[in-house]
Structure 1
Amino acid sequence: MADLFCKRLAVSLVIHHWREEEVGRSVTTLGRSLLAARESGLLDEAALFILYNGSEPVNLQAQVAILARTFPFGIDAFQAQENGGYGKANNLLLEKIASRAFDTTLIMNPDVIVSEMAMPRLLWRLSGDPGCGIIVPRLLDPEAGYDVYGCKRYPSLSVLAVRQFPFLQRFRVLRRLNDLYEYRDRLPEWEHRGVELCSGCFMLARTDFWVSLGGFDTRYFMYFEDFDLSVRATKMGWVQVYEPGAIVQHAGGGVSGKSLEHRWWFVCSAFKFFRRHGWRLFRVGKGL
């Protein structure tokens, strides 16, 4: 495989609700996985960049000191003046990362649990694929262990209605539509080069990818900023890759059980997404 020198890794971690145990577990498991990558010769240097954009007071210096006990690489933490949304917060960190000459950047949520061999596997695949844009792992529920199905096909209004109102899955045709949307017609153990949409909870790419895309579109406050990024990346010629050999646990971000405020953000972001990339009433995916 080609060696594209993905050996200087920066991690962008945006935290809105600082739950010490949750954040600590996520950072600790990431650190173990990065050590495994270094021991495998796939990584030389790593650094964690944290942006806290929550409203509750947090002693960042003290929290960084706690994280440093179990994270064997450098940590830089910053406080946002306001909460401009997930995409805007990550873009602020991406600007700092790009100025520091890191060749690879990982964007992750603070509630993921990273398996030890996840980063070695992802870095190995990324370093051997010059056309790869985003590479994402297999996502499993941390309690039940079932697949979360983070990768998606291009959505339609019908499938998003099913996501908002799960009782609609009683109808076989809509249940089948949701299965296609989540790539359930493919075994989760299969590698897939050419994923249409990637989950923003754990996205690895070379830093020049993030620069070429200009980061996330900050018009999305929450939801669909990762799908918009995926579509724009594909239009620019990048190929998104699903790597099932890398396992990350994540509970999933389904909106059906969220507050009315979150549902409103979801609807607003969906409108922006379809207005920019094209409306679909029923059909999902590019070739379906």
Structure 2
Amino acid sequence: MPELTDRPPLTISIVSHGQQALILPLLHQLARFCGPLIHRVVLTVNIPEPDLLGDAPPGLPLLRLDNPAPMGFGANNNQAFGHCETPWFLVLNPDIRLDHDVLSPLLAQAAAGAGLLAPRILEPGKAAPEQHRALLTPTEILQRRKPGYGIPAVPDWIPGLFMLFRSEAYRQIGGFDERFFMYGEDFDICARLRLAGWRIQIAEDQRARHEAQRASRTRLRHLWWHVSSLLKVWGSRAFWRYRALLAREAAQASRPG
């Protein structure tokens, strides 16, 4: 689709799994803080639920898609991208919360080679933002929360809570890999973006809040999706190519001069 310059720069994708009540505050925050930037919000209703969108903020351009059968995270956002006519495509979790306009600074700071932008994410009850993520490995998962863990200065990947894609980059790599039903697709798309030559750029001075819904820790089905997705990640060609790329970058950075 053409990227017209006479329209707001953003299309936003939000997927509801019976979560419209959780999404409504986010819609109001988007309208209040970021309204002039938004060309369209694509709300995908993935499972049947009562329609609460009558309480959505007036004037917010909202497109509702009702799936006849549930689809995975990547498939839902790829479907939403089919309605994107803007230079930027924002994937948001229903439980993200905004206290100010984070999108204008993100766009203003975007480097030419940045294919994916994000603010720092604040988790409930924490004063400091979520730490940057290193390459997703079993060792990294086990050591991530331990004292003395070497937090990378820049992330090797970011979780799929708040992902602002340059539409050109998203289109180039074919969006999310739909073989991941839920979990793992965020690492995979970050790896494939980097392998395609795009950067991940974090606005260290910007914050968004995450009202965390840790389903994978409380539901066996979600836990199974999580574990099986990790196995798919570690068996993928993109993982091993990205691991090699990061090793080359580390070696180059360690060379004197």
Query: Normalising by structure 2, what TM-score?
Result: 0.83
CA contact (8 A) 2:120 2:204 kept: yes
- Give the alignment partner of residue 111 of structure 1, picking from 71, 95, 112: 95
Q: Given the alignment, which residue of 45, 51, 54 partners 1:52?
A: 45
Structure 1 segments of 4+ aligned residues over 6 angstroms from their partners: none
Gapped regions of structure 2 (runs ≥ 5): 241-245, 252-257
1:18 is aligned to 19
Q: What 5-or-longer segments of structure 1 have no aligned partner?
A: 170-174, 187-191, 280-284
Alignment of 1:23-172 (within 5 A): 23-35=23-35, 38=36, 43=37, 45-54=38-47, 56-59=48-51, 63-69=52-58, 72-97=59-84, 101-126=85-110, 129-149=111-131, 151-161=132-142, 169=146
Q: Secondary structure at the match of 2:176?
A: coil
Q: What secondary structure, in the 3-state scheme, does the structure 1 residue paired with 2:217 have?
A: coil
The 1-side partners of 2:56 and 2:182 are apart by 27
1:258-279 Cα distance to aligned partner (Å, 9 max, x none): 3222221111101111111346
SS of aligned partner of 1:203: strand
Question: Does the CA-based 8 Å contact 1:117-1:246 persist in structure 2?
Answer: no
Offset from partner CA, 1:62-109 (integer Å, 9 cap, x none): x2221134xx43111010111121111111111122xxx212111101
Question: Which AA in structure 1 matches 2:54?
Answer: A
Q: Is the 8 Å Cα contact of residues 14 and 43 (structure 2) preserved in structure 1?
A: yes
Residue identity in the other structure for 1:116: H
Q: Distance in 2 between matches of 1:278 and 1:204?
A: 22
**CA shift in 2, pair 1:275/1:255, >3 Å:** farther
**Which residue of the partner structure matches residue 255 of structure 2?**
none
Q: Partners in 1 of 2:198 and 2:107 — Cα distance? A: 17
Q: Distance in 2 between matches of 1:73 and 1:230?
A: 30
Q: 2 CA distance for matches of 1:255 and 1:161?
A: 19
Quote the Cα distance in structure 2 between the aligned partners of 1:271 and 1:255: 19
Q: CA deviation at 1:219?
A: 0.5
Superposition deviation, residue 142 in structure 1: 4.0
SS of residue matched to 1:148:
coil
State the shift of 1:158 in Å. 2.4
1:183-230 per-position Cα deviation (integer Å, ceiling 9, x unaligned):
3x54xxxxx5xx310121101122112111211000101111010000
Report the alpha carbon displacement of residue 161 of structure 1 after superposing the two structures with TM: 4.4
Change (3 A) 1:238 1:91: same
Provide the TM-score with structure 1 as the length reference.
0.74
Query: Residues 108 and 76 of structure 1: is their aligned pair in 2 closer, same or farther, counting only changes over 3 Å?
Result: same
Distance in 2 (alpha carbons) for counterparts of 1:158 and 1:250:
25
- In structure 1, distance between residues paired with 2:142 and 2:214: 12
Alignment partners' CA distance in 2, 1:249 and 1:278: 29
Q: CA deviation at 1:7?
A: 4.2
Match in the other structure for 1:272: 232
Q: How far is the alpha carbon of 1:141 from its aligned partner? A: 2.0
Output the CA distance in 1 between the equivalents of 2:112 and 2:99. Answer: 25
Identity of aligned residues (%): 23
Q: Secondary structure at the match of 1:90?
A: helix
Aligned length: 238
Report whether the alignment pairs 1:260 with 2:208.
Answer: no
Does the 8 Å contact 2:24/2:53 carry over to 1?
no
Q: Within 2, Cα distance between the matches of 1:145 and 1:257?
A: 23
Quick one: which amino acid aligns to residue 112 of structure 1?
I
Which residue identity is paired with 1:10?
T
2:206 and 2:142 map into 1 onto residues whose CA distance is 31
Partner of 2:200: 240
> Are the structure 2 counterparts of residues 274 and 235 from structure 1 closer, same or farther at C-alpha, using a change threshold of 3 Å?
same
Secondary structure class of the residue paired with 1:88 = helix
Instruction: Determine which structure has greater relative contact order: mean sequence separation of CA pairs < 8 Å that are 6+ residues apart, divided by chain length.
Output: 1
